[in-house]
């Protein structure tokens, strides 16, 4: 494995830290920072532990640190630093600059970008978290440097493109002389998943005391079982966190939930998670795909049928609503319901009563309805294809599930989990995934979202040799590789077309006259602001910048 031996470029960090006293801002890598009182933060940390318990507090702070690590790595890459060695050499300095620890290498970080092997062994001297825990909570029975450990996991995972676990094996909060962490690939130990539990949705959201159900045994029959495991619902990206937070807020209620998002993003898995943490968790979960039901059988499937109601109805049977009584009914692709069935559904939701097809008895039902749509229901209403009154009945608590391309930071985690799952299922050992393959997955547009990633991982494991590594040809067919290459080429052409030919001449002229970069940047900012008549947001859009980035650059020259 290659060892990180080069000395970090301290000048990068010196230029990355900006203090603007006049406007009350401190920025690191163009991110706004806060200079907080360590004592106050330690008190807040203790209060969170007291309120949530140590385990939940650890998960929360670990997740927070993980997100910080991913963001610091992303902002470093935006400055033009994309070499693995450079990124890993700078990482320890960032946390030192932020005042968390002093890093002392026992064994410097080592990696193999072909197999994904990773190793490191460090002492964390003067850890703020360990100090805060001792001061506020006393001696701990387990490691307490939660944010630092999460940060290390997030940063190295973002660099390597595959999950890397840093585990704290000694901690001053436990009475050890030093805090010590070691790094290893996620798949090297059977117990490593518990150390990354803060990335799993069932740990991020609260669980009712009534218990949970085994979704692996849960199908359309609503079988009840033991505690749930949702291994593919993991993530730390902001988009994922927003959806998970909304899920937590609505779980304890009986409100109707509408999941929206593209096909393949995991709407049914989210609905199962919602049921498993609700007060109805020990009751049936019934799922039905509305698009898969013939229009003439929709009412019979939903509401049940009495014997002899129509040709072929040789026996009475309950519908999905009856079978879900007391539990949760999930209507997937609800926009596919025929218009006449939409009216019947609306009445059932209003009255909480059903009548079987061909029957006369009215049956009361007690269900929680969860629906999902992969089209814009508001647009369907405008086009006259979906009832407006039913839309408002379903749209009580909408939750949008983000597409995979908007949560790319989660791809390494999902990739590792799916490869691990299919390796076990096929009796294979996969030793890693090449950097070329990881880079391709991170750039891919993912039109099929999570479902496509699952299929790609299953195919890759089948094609790969036992004991080998996954490469590009295992993940994509030759046709798909060509399409991906053409897509990248098209993007490059679009970028080239967006730059007029005379722009290159202007650049040549600037270089010939030795005009400084600062002068050029200042001129572009001023011209954009002038063209936008002083509108900062519009000026930022002209330069493809965020408003904060534009303001930050303007302040450097004023």
Residue-wise pLDDT for 265-286, tens only, equals 999 999 999 999 999 999 999 9
The DSSP string of 430-469 is --EE-HHHHHHHHH---TTHHHHHHHHHHHHHHHSPTT-E
- Per-residue confidence (pLDDT) for residue 482, from 0 to 100: 52
Which band of pLDDT confidence, cut at 50, 70 and 90, is reported for residue 208?
A: very low
Q: How far apart are CA 181 and CA 79, in angstroms?
A: 28
- Specify the DSSP class assigned to residue 395: T
* Top-confidence residue, 120 or 19: 120
Taking a C-beta distance cutoff of 8 angstroms, is the pair 337, 290 a contact? yes
Percentage of the chain modeled with pLDDT above 70: 81
Q: To which H or E segment does residue 153 belong?
A: helix 146-160
Q: List CB contacts of 438: < 8 A, sequence separation 6 or more.
A: 160, 161, 162, 412, 415
- C-alpha 478/C-alpha 198 separation (Å) is 37
**Contact (CB, 8 A) for 275 and 259:** no
Residue 396 has pLDDT above 90, yes or no: yes
Reported as type and span, the H/E element at residue 85 is: helix 84-97
Per residue in 419-449, pLDDT tens?
888 999 999 988 778 877 888 888 888 999 9
* Residue 190 predicted with pLDDT over 80: no
The predicted model scores a pTM of 0.67
Instruction: Give the whole-angstrom CA distance, residue 199 versus residue 232.
Output: 10
The region of weakest confidence among 16-20, 42-46, 321-325, 452-456 is 16-20
Greatest Cα pair distance, the chain, in angstroms, is 92
- Tokens representing residue 496 in the block: 């080239």
Lowest-confidence range among 206-220, 422-436, 489-503?
206-220
Which helix (DSSP H) or strand (DSSP E) does residue 25 occupy?
A: strand 25-28
Task: State pLDDT tens for residues 341-392.
Answer: 999 999 999 999 988 887 778 899 999 999 999 999 999 999 999 999 999 9
Q: Angle at CA 474, nearest 5°, toward 471 and 480?
A: 105
Note the pLDDT tens digit of each residue in 498-551: 445 556 666 766 676 667 777 788 888 888 888 887 888 778 878 887 776 787
Above 90 in pLDDT, residue 146?
yes
165-182 mean pLDDT: 93
Q: Is 304 within 8 Å of 317 (Cβ atoms)?
A: yes
497/318 Cα distance (integer angstroms): 62
- Top mean-pLDDT range of 180-194, 231-245, 471-485: 231-245
Beta strands 164-170 and 179-185: pairing type?
antiparallel
For residues 271 and 260, give the distance between their C-alpha atoms in angstroms, rounded to a whole number: 11
DSSP string, 95-140: HHHTTS-EEEEEEEEEE-TTT--EEEEEEEET-HHHHHHHHHH-S-
Answer whether residue 104 shows pLDDT above 80: yes
Q: If pLDDT is split at 50, 70 and 90, which confidence band does 79 have?
A: confident
pLDDT top residue among 481 and 370 = 370
Q: What is the mean pLDDT of residues 466-480?
A: 80
Cα angle, residue 453 at apex, residues 373 and 77 outer, rounded to 5°: 105
pLDDT band at residue 215 under the 50/70/90 scheme: very low
Question: Which pLDDT does position 500 carry in this prediction?
Answer: 55
Helices (H), 464-500: 472-475, 478-497
User: For residue 539, what are its two tokens?
Assistant: 């000026």
Q: What is the pLDDT of residue 310?
A: 66
Domains of the chain: 2-199 (3.30.1380.20), 207-400 (3.40.50.300), 407-497 (1.10.8.60), 501-556 (1.10.10)
Q: Taking CA 334 as the corner, what is the angle to CA 224 and CA 449, rounded to the nearest 5 degrees?
A: 80
CB of 251 closer than 8 Å to CB of 274: yes
Q: E-assigned strands of 266-367?
A: 285-289, 328-332, 353-355, 362-364
């Amino acid at each position: 494995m290659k060892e990180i031996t080069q000395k970090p470029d301290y000048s990068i960090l010196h230029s990355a830290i900006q203090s603007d006293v006049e406007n009350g801002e401190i920025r690191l890598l163009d991110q706004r920072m806060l200079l907080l009182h360590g004592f106050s933060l330690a008190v807040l940390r203790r209060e969170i532990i007291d309120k949530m318990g140590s385990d939940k507090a650890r998960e929360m702070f670990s997740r927070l640190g993980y997100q910080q690590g991913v963001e610091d790595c992303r902002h470093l890459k935006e400055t033009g630093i994309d070499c693995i060695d450079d990124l890993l050499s700078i990482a320890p300095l960032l946390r030192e600059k932020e005042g968390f620890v002093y890093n002392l290498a026992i064994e410097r970080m080592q990696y193999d970008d072909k197999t994904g092997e990773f190793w490191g062994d460090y002492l964390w001297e003067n850890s703020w978290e360990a100090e805060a825990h001792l001061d506020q909570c006393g001696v701990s029975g387990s490691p307490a440097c939660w944010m630092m450990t999460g940060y290390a996991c997030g940063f190295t995972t973002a660099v390597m493109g595959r999950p890397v676990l840093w585990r704290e094996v000694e901690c001053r909060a436990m009475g050890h002389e030093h805090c010590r962490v070691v790094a290893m690939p996620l798949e090297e130990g059977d117990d490593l998943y518990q150390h990354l539990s803060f990335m799993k949705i069932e740990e991020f959201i609260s669980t009712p005391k009534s218990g949970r159900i085994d979704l692996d045994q849960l199908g359309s029959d609503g079988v009840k079982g033991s505690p749930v495991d949702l291994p593919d619902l993991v993530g730390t990206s902001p988009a994922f966190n927003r959806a998970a937070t909304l899920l937590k807020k609505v779980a304890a209620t009986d409100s109707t939930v509408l999941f929206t998002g593209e096909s393949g993003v995991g709407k049914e898995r989210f609905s199962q998670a919602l049921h498993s943490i609700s007060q109805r968790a020990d009751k049936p979960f019934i799922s039905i795909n509305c698009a898969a039901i013939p229009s003439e059988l929709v009412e019979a499937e939903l509401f049940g049928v009495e014997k002899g109601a129509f040709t072929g109805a040789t026996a009475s049977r309950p519908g999905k609503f009856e079978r879900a009584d007391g539990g949760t009914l999930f209507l997937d692709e609800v926009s596919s319901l025929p218009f006449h069935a939409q009216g019947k559904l609306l009445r059932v939701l209003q009255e909480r009563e059903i009548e079987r097809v061909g029957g006369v008895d009215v049956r009361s039902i007690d269900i929680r309805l969860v629906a999902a749509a992969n089209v814009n229901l508001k647009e369907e209403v405008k086009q006259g294809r979906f009832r407006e009154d039913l839309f408002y009945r379903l749209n009580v608590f909408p939750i949008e599930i983000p597409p995979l391309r908007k949560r790319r930071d989660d791809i390494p985690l999902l990739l590792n989990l799916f490869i691990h799952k299919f390796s076990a299922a096929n009796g294979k050992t996969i030793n890693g995934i090449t950097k070329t393959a990881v880079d391709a997955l991170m750039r891919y547009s993912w039109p099929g979202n999570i479902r496509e990633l699952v299929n790609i991982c299953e195919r890759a494991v089948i094609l790969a040799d036992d004991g080998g590594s996954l490469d590009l040809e295992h993940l994509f067919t030759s046709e798909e590789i060509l399409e991906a290459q053409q897509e990248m080429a098209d993007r490059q052409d679009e970028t080239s077309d967006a730059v007029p030919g005379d722009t290159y001449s202007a650049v040549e002229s600037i270089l010939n006259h030795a005009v400084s970069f600062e002068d050029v940047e200042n001129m572009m900012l001023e011209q954009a602001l002038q063209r936008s008549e002083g509108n900062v947001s519009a000026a930022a859009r002209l330069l493809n910048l965020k408003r904060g980035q534009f303001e930050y650059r303007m302040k450097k020259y004023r």
